[in-house]
Amino acid sequence: MKEILIRQKQVLFFIIAGGLSAIVEIGSFKAFSTSLPLFIARETNFHGVHYPLSNIFSTGCGILTNYFLSIWFVFERGKHSKKKEFAYFMGVSFISTLLSLGFFQIFYSFIFKDNINLFFYTLSPEMISKIAAILLVSILNYSVKKKVIFNG
């Protein structure tokens, strides 16, 4: 019973940490995707890739936020040294970033074409695509980080 409660607590904290990291990532994506095109005209469409730097920079912000929240609140330290743990975390995050960028491109290019009006805020296709990509990749992240990095 204690294991189930600990696991549920860990999943809850992972969701909270992931949610906070997603807020950082989505907020920084909004900032980058509105400001970078003013300086780099190709940011909106670089050889068919939409918002590449905005995605990379915002994902980096989200990854760093998630790393610190994960080691402070979600997972216990694994059997790895801090250096190795950080390297593994960054490796998994790099692969997750590639997946997230790929999903974003698919969602933005083929699925989400219209704004979604939430009455108090309108979500653009790029924001909807970013949110959908984050949600999809977060499931994979939890499993891999728990089993490989933090050994729990």
CB 108 within 8 A of CB 50: yes
pLDDT tens-digit map of 13-65: 888 888 899 899 999 999 999 999 999 888 888 888 888 899 889 988 988 89
* Rounded CA separation 37/80 (Å): 41
What residue spans define the domains of the chain? 1-150
Helix (H, G, I), strand (E, B) or coil at 63: helix
Give 69's Cβ-side CA count (13 Å radius): 20
Return the amino acid letter for 152. G
Q: How confident is the model at residue 2 (pLDDT cuts 50, 70, 90)?
A: low
* Rounded CA separation 36/28 (Å): 11
CB 129 within 8 A of CB 107: yes
The answer to which of 6-10, 36-40, 127-131 has the lowest mean pLDDT is: 6-10
CB 14 within 8 A of CB 142: yes
Please state the pTM of the whole predicted model.
Answer: 0.74
Closest by CA position to 29, among listed 16, 43, 15: 43
Q: How confident is the model at residue 74 (pLDDT cuts 50, 70, 90)?
A: confident
CB 102 within 8 A of CB 47: no
CB 87 within 8 A of CB 53: no
- E strands, the chain, in order: 116-117, 122-123
**Range 41-49, long-range pairs (CB < 8 A, 24+ positions):** 49/105
